[in-house]
Each structure stands twice: as C-alpha cells, then as structure tokens.
Amino acid sequence: MKQDKTDHMTSPQNGTEQVKKEKKKMGLSTKIFIALGAGALFGVLIHYAMPACYFRNTILINGILYVLGNGFINLMQMLVVPLVFCSLVCGSMAIGDTKTLGTVGVKTIVFYLCTTALAICLALGVASLISPGLGMNLKEVEQAAVEQTDKVNFADTLLNIIPKNIFSSLADGDMLPIIVFALFVGIMLAKLGSKASTVANFFGQFNDIMMEMTMSIMKVAPIGVFCMIAKTFSTVGFSAFQPMAKYMLCVILALALQCFGVYQILLFAFTRLNPIRFVRKFFPVMTFAFSTSTSNATIPLSIDTLHKKMGVSKQISAFTIPLGATINMDGTSIMQGVAVIFISQAYGIPLSAGALATVVATATIASIGTAGVPSVGLVTLTMVLGSVGLPTEGIALIMGIDRILDMLRTAVNITGDAVCTTIVASQQKCLKGEVFERD
C-alpha cells in the first residue's frame, strides 16, 4: 500500500536512497502477518502459562486485549456504511446506464449463487469421504446450551431489499437496502448530469475522505490483529479441539480446496490471470479477515487492495464487494455442509439423496441471510439442520471450536467475493492488466 505513495520523480541518487529506505521499512502486510503469529503465540502462553487471576482474566484478556482488538474492529466498521454508500453512488453514476449495471448485477449474483452451491457440494463430498461423526461418543463432548435462534425467512429477506426508510437502514448497517438506494441515487445523478454536479462532487470527495481514513486506520491494524488473535487463543486453548479433530480437518480441507482450487481455476479460466499472483496480492486481506472474523469490516480494505494491486475499477468493486460480503458466504456454507454430515453421523440419522439436495438449496439461501459478522454462520445453521430434520442441539457439539473455524471461513468468504469481482471486472473491461502484473 505504501508503494503507491512513493511513485514520485526523484534523482537517481535520491532514488537509490529511497529504494534503500523502502527496503528497510517493513510493509503493512508483513507487519499484520507477524502480529498474527505473535498474537497466537501470546494467547497460547496466557492460556497455558499464566494462572487464572484477576489480572489475567479481567485486566489482560477482557480489558486490554478486548478493548484494543474490538476498538480496531469498531474503527473499521465505522467506515463501512459511509464508504459503501459513497463509493456505490460514485460507481453507479460513473457506469451511468442501467443496462450495464443490470448485466454486472446479474453476472455477480449468478456467480455468487453458483460458487456457494459448489462449495456446499464440495463440503458434503469431503465430509462423506472422511466421515467425521462416525464413532463419535456424544457423552465425551461438553454439552453447551444452544441459543434460541430466529430462522431466516427467504421471502422477508427478498422483501427487505427495498428500504422502507433509508435512514433506519443506514443506521442499522443493513447492506442490501443500502446497496439498492445508493445504486438508485447514482443512476439519477448520471441522468441529471450537470444539474446535480454539486451533489455528485460531494459524494466523490466524501468517498476520497473515506479511502484516506481507511488507510490511516490500517496503520494500527497490526495492534488490532495482535489483540484479537491473542484474546481468542487465550480463551480457547487446545483441549476442546481433540474430540473434534476430524470435523475440523474436514472443514479446513474443504475450505482450502475451495479457496486455492475452485476459485483459482475459475479465475484462470475466465480471466487468464495468474492465480498465484492473485493469492499473493490478496493475502493481506485474507489475513485481516482471518483475525477479525468479520466480512463486513474487510470491505474497505478489499476494495482498496483490488483497486491498487489488481487494477480492478472501483465502479465494479464498490458494488460487488459489499454485495458479496452480504450474500456470498462460501466458507460459511462449507462449515454448514460438513456440520450436517457430522451431526447426522453423530446422532445416527442417515440422510437420503433428496435430503442432501435440500441441504444444498437451504444452505445457499442461508448464505444470503448470513450477515458478515462473527459466528452468524452458527445461527443460520439451525435453519439448514431443521430443513432435513436434524436436531439443532447438535450445534452444541461444534460451538466450542467454531471460533477458530469462523476465522478461516471468513477469509474464504471474502476471497470468493474478490475472485468474482476480478472476473466480472475483467469481462466488463474494467481491469487494468498492467496493475495486476506489477509487483
């Protein structure tokens, strides 16, 4: 990210000094990555080496680590609504005609739904092969209380896309109605042209301010990431993992196949871009999603990285990334697919082919209704389990270790959005190949 700001004209000598300086300076991505590892180590040390006392529990874990970690997420989330709104207005205004917007919209939604369905099939396949729930002794696992959860109603989800009151949608951070309203405003601004230039300029300039704020806040990302990860590992520990090792293996394997297999094949097939370069450039965003478990908070960084490092026009990403963070949850669907097989085996309730097809359909719909915030995947899992008559109490089995899997699946969720965005941008001729190729 720093690189963009160093493209100034310099004398050869100054240039060499500049390069030396740049080499000495550690990049933000490296810092975030180091923070991730150090945070995990620190968390494990707190969990195993520090006796439980007031200082450890109240001051360190639920005080310093909690406040700094969540403070950072709040800072990122503070930007999401104004940034999404302004960049969508600007994006749709720049595209202008409704026909192109419609094409982009349809392509994106079809891609999102197909990859989600594919992800669930992959998860069901992997879980059926490994059979994580076979021989599971339910008594060995600590039974936790399952929270009462609301079911996702598909008709209401569809209807709620149209905002009755845009101010309450903005206040609640309801992404879909915000997207609809912002697209509308952008199209009207394009239609009115110079008559509404003041408002158009306002949104353009406000958008720039939001992007600058994103970059300023990202400077403290390593601290936020360190605290988030340290807090998670200090509370989870490893003992909860042992009885669930096979289940975790299935989820992680399916997530890896989706992220580094399916997505990269699709990327190459549709755009001929180098998938390794894509992963390398997008890795900091994945790390960020991993440590925050929040697709929503990743939106500003994702848009910025796709623009600066991959050459994707913001006209496209401003629309597809927030939409994806809301309706495209491939990683979450993978967890749900594996959980269905796991719970059916653990409880000894076999599933027919028809039931598996129902799982694919419901989990795809659940993905649309899953908000991009931590642990919501568990909530919508109740709907998937209910659709095939599996006991929702089964969720208690996987709750204890879900925090770690949530981190991984969030990284996959946002990678799916980015791959789709890159493909759509390339098809709409809104991708600068030379930026993507640049190191």
Give least dist CB 288 to ligand ASP, A.
Answer: 12
**79 part of the interface to ligand ASP, by CB under 6 A:** no
Contact with ligand ASP (CB under 6 A) among 373, 381, 384, 431: 373
What is the x/- site pattern for ligand ASP, positions 324-353, by CB under 6 A?
-----x--x---------------------
| Stretch of 24-32, 199-207, 288-296, 302-310 contacting ligand ASP, by CB under 6 A | 288-296
Give least dist CB 155 to ligand ASP, A.
Answer: 22
Contact with ligand ASP (CB under 6 A) among 337, 372, 400, 416: 372
Task: Report how many residues bind ligand ASP under the rule CB under 6 A.
Answer: 16
**376 part of the interface to ligand ASP, by CB under 6 A:** yes
- How far apart are the C-alpha atoms of 134 and 346, rounded to whole Å? 6
Give least dist CB 304 to ligand ASP, A.
Answer: 18
Nearer to ligand ASP by Cβ, of 314 and 409: the residue is: 409
Nearer to ligand ASP by Cβ, of 186 and 284: the residue is: 284
Contact with ligand ASP (CB under 6 A) among 406, 420, 423, 424: 406
Give least dist CB 360 to ligand ASP, A.
Answer: 17
- The full DSSP string for 14-31 is HHHHHHHHHHHSPPHHHH
Give least dist CB 8 to ligand ASP, A.
Answer: 38
Q: Pull the structure tokens for residue 420.
A: 């789709």
Contact with ligand ASP (CB under 6 A) among 413, 415, 422, 426: 413
- Kind and range of the H or E element at 223? helix 221-236
- How far apart are the C-alpha atoms of 121 and 116, rounded to whole Å? 9
Please, where are the H alpha helices in 96-220?
Answer: 98-130, 154-159, 166-172, 175-192, 197-218
The answer to whether residues 389 and 349 touch, using CB atoms and an 8 Å cutoff, is yes
Give least dist CB 374 to ligand ASP, A.
Answer: 5
Give least dist CB 300 to ligand ASP, A.
Answer: 14
Contact with ligand ASP (CB under 6 A) among 87, 264, 271, 294: 294
Give least dist CB 33 to ligand ASP, A.
Answer: 20
**370 part of the interface to ligand ASP, by CB under 6 A:** yes
135 three-class SS: coil
Let me know if 434 is exposed, middle or buried by CB neighbors in 10 A (0-12, 13-18, 19+).
exposed
312 three-class SS: strand
Q: How far is CA 20 from the centre of its chain?
A: 35
| Stretch of 110-118, 342-350, 373-381, 382-390 contacting ligand ASP, by CB under 6 A | 373-381
7 three-class SS: coil
| Stretch of 8-16, 340-348, 370-378, 421-429 contacting ligand ASP, by CB under 6 A | 370-378
Helices (H) and strands (E) in the chain, counts: 20, 0
**175 part of the interface to ligand ASP, by CB under 6 A:** no
HSE-up of residue 161 (Cα within 13 Å, Cβ side): 15
Tell which residue, 257, 222, 232, has the closest CA to residue 337: 257
Give least dist CB 367 to ligand ASP, A.
Answer: 9
What value does the CA radius of gyration of the chain take, rounded to a whole number of Å? 22
The answer to whether residues 257 and 124 touch, using CB atoms and an 8 Å cutoff, is no
Give least dist CB 9 to ligand ASP, A.
Answer: 42
Closest residue to ligand ASP, judged by C-beta, is 377
Contact with ligand ASP (CB under 6 A) among 77, 264, 295, 328: 295
**417 part of the interface to ligand ASP, by CB under 6 A:** no
Contact with ligand ASP (CB under 6 A) among 374, 394, 400, 416: 374
Nearer to ligand ASP by Cβ, of 81 and 93: the residue is: 81
Tell which residue, 310, 372, 370, 363, has the closest CA to residue 341: 363
Nearer to ligand ASP by Cβ, of 292 and 426: the residue is: 292
- How far apart are the C-alpha atoms of 356 and 353, rounded to whole Å? 5
Q: Pull the structure tokens for residue 146.
A: 């399952």
The answer to whether residues 101 and 187 touch, using CB atoms and an 8 Å cutoff, is yes
HSE-up of residue 36 (Cα within 13 Å, Cβ side): 17
The answer to whether residues 179 and 109 touch, using CB atoms and an 8 Å cutoff, is no
Nearer to ligand ASP by Cβ, of 418 and 431: the residue is: 418
Nearer to ligand ASP by Cβ, of 211 and 329: the residue is: 329
- How far apart are the C-alpha atoms of 310 and 422, rounded to whole Å? 8
Nearer to ligand ASP by Cβ, of 189 and 340: the residue is: 340
Q: How far is CA 392 from the centre of its chain?
A: 25
Q: Which residues bind ligand ASP (CB under 6 A)?
A: 293-295, 329, 332, 370, 372-377, 406, 409-410, 413
